[in-house]
């Protein structure tokens, strides 16, 4: 029931773009995105609810395709501060069941 993320790891140069994908085998009510820096707790980025709405947050945006049970996180013009591990989190329609994805390690280098 744990969503699968791809890629597992990515290295970018400052200013480059990246896409992180999250795929679930279950019908989803919502998708969350979090970023965790080394030694710290995960921090919320955004939530997407059933309905396919795309949301944005500074240069980070996300989409949610409920038919395909997939979500993608888009990072544009990456900055050094974007480095960390990104997790999607999914809530399943059948109740308050919440699962984090497998994680994507993102490293931005100068």
Partner 1 sequence: DTAVSQTPKYLVTQMGNDKSIKCEQNLGHDTMYWYKQDSKKFLKIMFSYNNKELIINETVPNRFSPKSPDKAHLNLHINSLELGDSAVYFCASSHPYNEQFFGPGTRLTVL
Question: How far is the C-alpha of 42 from the C-alpha of 54, rounded, in Å?
Answer: 22
Q: Is 23 in the site for partner 1 (CB under 8 A)?
A: no
Answer whether 15's CB lies under 8 Å from 69's CB: no
Work out whether 42 is an interface residue with partner 1 (CB under 8 A): yes
- Among 47, 55, 61, 83, contact with partner 1 (rule: CB under 8 A): 47
Distance CA(70)–CA(84), nearest Å, equals 21
Degrees to nearest 5, angle at CA 76 with 32 and 99:
15
Stretch that binds partner 1, among 20-28, 43-51, 54-62, 71-79 (CB under 8 A): 43-51
Residue choice 13, 67, 94, 95 for contact with partner 1 (CB under 8 A): 95
The HSE-up count of residue 106 (CA atoms within 13 Å, CB side) is 33
List 7, 15, 44, 59, residue binding partner 1 (CB under 8 A): 44
Distance between CA atoms of 11 and 46, rounded to whole angstroms? Answer: 22
Nearer to partner 1, 66 or 91 (CB): 91
> Please, are residues 93 and 49 in contact by the beta-carbon 8 Å criterion?
no
Q: How far is the CB of 73 from partner 1 (least distance, A)?
A: 15
Residues that bind partner 1 (CB under 8 A): 2, 29-30, 32, 34, 36, 40-44, 47, 49, 85, 87, 89, 91, 95-100, 102-103, 105
């Amino acid at each position: 029931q744990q969503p699968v993320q791809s890629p597992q790891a990515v290295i970018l140069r400052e200013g480059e773009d990246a896409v992180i994908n999250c795929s679930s085998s279950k019908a989803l009510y919502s998708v969350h995105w979090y970023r965790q820096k080394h030694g710290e707790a995960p921090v919320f980025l955004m939530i997407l609810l059933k309905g396919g709405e795309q949301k944005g947050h500074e240069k980070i945006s996300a989409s949610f395709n409920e038919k395909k049970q997939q979500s993608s996180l888009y990072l544009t013009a990456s900055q050094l501060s974007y480095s960390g591990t990104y997790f999607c989190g999914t809530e399943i329609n059948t109740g308050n069941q919440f699962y984090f994805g497998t994680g994507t390690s993102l490293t931005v280098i100068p």
